[in-house]
Amino acid sequence: MSARLFYDKDCSLDALQGKTIVFVGYGNQGRAQALNLRDTIHAEGILPTRIIVANKNDNYSKAAEEDGFGFTSDWQSAASEADVLFLLVPDQVQPKLFNENIAPTLKKTACVVVASGYNVFYKYLNVAPSNDVVMVAPRMIGTSVRSRYQSGVGFPCFVSVEQDGTGRAWDIALALCRGIGATKGGVIESSAREETLMDLFAEQAVWPSVIATFQEAYSVLKQLGCSDEALVHELWLSKEPAEVFEKCADDGFIRQLVHHSSVSQYGQLKGSMELDTRAMRKEFERVAKERILSGEFAKEFTALDKEGPGVDKKLEELYEKASQTELAQGEKRVRDRLGLKTI
């Protein structure tokens, strides 16, 4: 099944005329999207449209002031003025902030915009039926969202309407996509379910398998006599894997192999086809169905976040455990020897 794509020509900015747009959060995505939207509004003459930044008093709010927005930490006041409200604080922060400090004063016809489907899919946000809920989800970090806008090119972005309380949610969603500059490259219709499934699946299935693969490869090759220095450089420090993935994006996931030697092409193609992936597929299906779609992971993470030590303590434990693996120990020796910094 193919998804709908939306370009500049498909998206009118009229839905933003005279609207007050509030950005809750001025971090990675908030700053980039607010700046892009302001530039588009000025360039296209979409006035009078106001942009308000709502953020606690910290380094991000200072950035908002330096960028000419100013800021308010009065969540309820900002919510009461919003016709469109971007909710761009971290996923684990959103429910409490929105339900307690934003929802009570939010206009009944306001449009709530999320950049992640997580809290919408798991129904953690108490949004009135009369409100619109849309997802505008750039697939790049904020600095790239900003730099690509300034370069006049688009960036990958998902869009969906999760609740159409006013009957105009699609008009607003597409106007916002164009406003932040995403539609120059084509915006992909998605859903909170799809975005959440793919995002969490990558984090809980794809990348864990990559980490585990490198750890096992390291141990096997170390046992066969390879040095730490050679292994670390061959497997990742040379940045060859990063270059390969860049070629995947540029030339195609499989076709990028033509840039490799014939020996490499033959080995990778034949090896990938002969690898028994049945156990991997079974585990992937378990993660997708039993952990993500069932809501089990979300419940686990929410409970962990509410505990005394919180998520940070658990992350410290996991990092400590990971640091004891043969790969991590070998890398530490190499980086120390070469004088390379480690964050």
The domains of the chain are located at: 5-190, 195-238+276-338
| pLDDT score for 307 | 82
Banded pLDDT at 317 (limits 50, 70, 90): very high
Banded pLDDT at 308 (limits 50, 70, 90): confident
Query: Mean pLDDT across the stretch 39-54?
Result: 91
Q: Decide which of 1.25.40.10, 1.20.200.10, 3.40.640.10, 3.40.50.720 is the CATH code for 5-190.
A: 3.40.50.720
Residue with token string 């890398």: 331
Q: How far apart are CA 245 and CA 297, in angstroms?
A: 28
Q: How far apart are CA 36 and CA 151, in angstroms?
A: 11
Contacts of 85 (CB under 8 A, 6+ apart): 21, 22, 24, 78, 79, 102, 106, 110, 111, 112, 113
pLDDT at 296 over 90: yes
| pLDDT score for 260 | 97
pLDDT at 1 over 80: no
Question: What does the block give as tokens for 77?
Answer: 């006041």
| pLDDT score for 187 | 98
Question: What does the block give as tokens for 216?
Answer: 């096992």
| pLDDT score for 310 | 82
Contact 159, 178 (CB under 8 A): no
Run of H or E including 337: helix 326-338
Q: How far apart are CA 105 and CA 237, in angstroms?
A: 51
pLDDT at 47 over 80: no
Q: How far apart are CA 40 and CA 46, in angstroms?
A: 8
Measuring CA to CA, which residue among 259, 247, 244, 260 is closest to residue 210? Answer: 244
Question: What does the block give as tokens for 148?
Answer: 């690509």
Residue with token string 């006041």: 77
